[in-house]
């Protein structure tokens, strides 16, 4: 029987849903029945710490970054968040220190016939460059930001939404008791999916997203309008990438990572300060930060992880490389890597955001033109 060795690695920010994908990928690769049908015996090798695991120059160091995976190793993985293989934001194509040759040499030395890469735009971007250099890669989309094109879902998003929803539920009791305003800053980088859909899930009064610059004066007017109508407290969700018109984005540190990104954050505090000064109402800021990436995967991330993991192995078996598994219009499908990377998928303000209320739209009409799952079919 033919033998084939498949590597898996996880890169970029961790999130819930990665471990379920790895579990089902390994179980599919090593499944005895499927093995007989396809006439190939697969072996799966986990690579630790993302691209860093393939950038070691000493054989002993490379060895230390390997984790052979079998059905027993991954048996319980779908219950856990994070990534059992570890991750890093390492870029082998960092212009300041290009290490791609080392990666290519290690792939060859390890005898990897295929490499399955679980990541967001940066990690899949590296996978695409390696594919152009002849590596047989398949991608699985994951990021709590849900900002990848060509796929309606990226692993980790729904679990992060659950965190936002549950944490805001907790805040509501204390906010109501003290008649306070809580500004809750969410992650999401340049896109507002987490803030918008998190805010829609928990019924936030105001949601501010990077796709639409806001005015603090208008936020204050909306808050005061709510108070005049009898509101005791307010929940305001602000995406880390959102900003007032005329301002630049707020950053946690000036230094950019090896993919050129600066860590966003800080708008929550600035906004809370502006609201307290402008309305004279007591305002607090809560940063959900990395809590959004933590915890056990929700049922949806376990299922999507399973489907994406199985689909990735299907592509390997069919030798259909240079692709990313996707979820599109309710179906698991695939798409060339180059169509997914490079440009982000933004919230469409016209059809999904109410610029008057600074919130999700109060009509679902018009949303059907979007590639977003709708709760019910709408007839015009």
DSSP three-state, residue 243: coil
Site string for ligand F6P, 155-184 (x = CB under 6 A): ------------------------------
Q: On the CB side of 126, how many CA atoms lie within 13 Å of its CA?
A: 33
Binder of ligand F6P out of 45, 263, 281, 372 (CB under 6 A): 263
Binder of ligand F6P out of 65, 189, 306, 345 (CB under 6 A): 189
Which residue in the shown chain puts its C-beta closest to ligand F6P? 187
Binder of ligand F6P out of 81, 188, 210, 297 (CB under 6 A): 188
- Tell me the C-alpha distance between 316 and 11, whole Å: 19
What is the layout of strands, in order, in the sheet containing 114-119? 66-69, 40-47, 2-10, 114-119, 137-141, 323-328, 331-336
CB 266 within 8 A of CB 252: yes
Place of tokens 């690695």: 9
Q: Which is nearer to ligand F6P, 170 or 252 (CB)?
A: 252
Place of tokens 């005898």: 111
Do the bridges between strand 331-336 and strand 234-239 make them parallel or antiparallel, or are there none, so unpaired?
unpaired
List the end-to-end C-alpha distance of the chain, in Å, as a whole number. Answer: 57
Could you say whether residue 143 binds ligand F6P (CB under 6 A)? yes
Do the bridges between strand 359-360 and strand 353-354 make them parallel or antiparallel, or are there none, so unpaired?
antiparallel
Closest among 37, 1, 14, 3 to 314, alpha carbons compared = 37
Q: Shortest Cβ distance from residue 89 to ligand F6P (Å)?
A: 6
Could you say whether residue 150 binds ligand F6P (CB under 6 A)? no
- Tell me the C-alpha distance between 229 and 320, whole Å: 59
Could you say whether residue 8 binds ligand F6P (CB under 6 A)? no
Count of residues interacting with ligand F6P (CB under 6 A): 13
- Tell me the C-alpha distance between 309 and 305, whole Å: 6
Binder of ligand F6P out of 7, 13, 17, 210 (CB under 6 A): 13
- Tell me the C-alpha distance between 204 and 195, whole Å: 10
Binder of ligand F6P out of 103, 116, 187, 337 (CB under 6 A): 187
Tell me which residues in 77-106 interact with ligand F6P (CB under 6 A).
89
Binder of ligand F6P out of 48, 293, 306, 345 (CB under 6 A): 293
- Tell me the C-alpha distance between 138 and 160, whole Å: 25
Q: Shortest Cβ distance from residue 187 to ligand F6P (Å)?
A: 3
- Tell me the C-alpha distance between 197 and 162, whole Å: 10
Could you say whether residue 144 binds ligand F6P (CB under 6 A)? yes
Q: Shortest Cβ distance from residue 368 to ligand F6P (Å)?
A: 28
| Cβ-proximal residues to 249 (8 Å cutoff; 6+ apart), any chain | 210, 241, 243, 264, 267
Could you say whether residue 264 binds ligand F6P (CB under 6 A)? yes
Could you say whether residue 237 binds ligand F6P (CB under 6 A)? no
Could you say whether residue 46 binds ligand F6P (CB under 6 A)? no
Tell me which residues in 307-366 interact with ligand F6P (CB under 6 A).
none
Q: Which is nearer to ligand F6P, 59 or 342 (CB)?
A: 342
257 annotated active-site = no
Could you say whether residue 145 binds ligand F6P (CB under 6 A)? yes
Which residue out of 14, 49, 122, 145 is catalytically annotated?
Answer: 145
Could you say whether residue 288 binds ligand F6P (CB under 6 A)? no
Stretch that binds ligand F6P, among 109-117, 137-145, 199-207, 302-310 (CB under 6 A): 137-145
Q: Which residues are catalytic?
A: 145
Given the rule CB under 6 A, which residues bind ligand F6P? 13, 89, 120, 143-145, 187-189, 240, 263-264, 293
């Amino acid at each position: 029987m033919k033998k084939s060795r498949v590597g898996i690695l996880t890169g970029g920010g961790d999130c819930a849903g990665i471990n379920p994908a790895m579990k089902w990928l390994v179980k599919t690769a090593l499944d005895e029945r499927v093995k007989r049908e396809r006439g190939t015996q697969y072996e799966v090798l986990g690579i630790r710490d993302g691209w860093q695991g393939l950038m070691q120059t000493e054989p002993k160091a490379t060895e230390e970054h390997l984790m052979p995976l079998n059905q027993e190793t991954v048996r319980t993985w779908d219950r856990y968040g994070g990534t059992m293989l570890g991750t890093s934001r390492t870029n082998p194509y960092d212009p300041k220190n290009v290490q791609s040759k080392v990666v290519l040499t290690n792939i060859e030395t390890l005898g990897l016939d295929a490499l399955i890469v679980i990541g967001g735009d940066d990690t899949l971007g590296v996978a695409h460059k390696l594919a152009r250099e002849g590596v047989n890669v398949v991608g699985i989309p994951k990021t709590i930001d849900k900002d990848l094109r060509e796929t309606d879902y990226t692993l980790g998003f729904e679990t992060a939404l659950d965190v936002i929803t549950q944490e805001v539920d907790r805040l509501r009791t204390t906010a109501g008791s003290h008649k306070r305003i809580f500004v809750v800053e969410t992650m999401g980088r340049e896109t507002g999916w987490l803030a918008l859909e998190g805010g829609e899930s928990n019924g936030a009064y105001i949601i501010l997203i990077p796709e639409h610059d806001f005015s603090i004066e208008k936020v204050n007017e909306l808050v005061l309008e709510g108070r005049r109508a009898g509101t005791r407290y307010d929940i305001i969700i602000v995406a880390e990438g959102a900003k007032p018109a005329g301002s630049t984005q707020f950053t946690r540190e000036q230094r950019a990572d090896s993919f050129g990104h600066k860590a966003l954050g800080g708008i929550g505090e600035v906004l809370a300060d502006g609201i307290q000064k402008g309305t004279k109402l007591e305002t607090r800021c809560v940063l959900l930060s990395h809590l959004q990436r933590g915890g056990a995967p929700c049922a949806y991330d376990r299922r999507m992880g399973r489907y994406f993991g199985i689909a990735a192995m299907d592509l390997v078996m069919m030798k259909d490389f240079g692709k990313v598994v996707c979820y599109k219009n309710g179906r698991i499908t695939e798409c060339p890597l180059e169509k997914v990377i490079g440009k982000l998928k933004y919230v469409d303000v016209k059809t999904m955001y109410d610029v008057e209320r600074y919130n999700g739209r109060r009509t679902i009409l018009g949303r059907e033109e979007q590639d977003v799952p709708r709760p019910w079919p709408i007839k015009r």
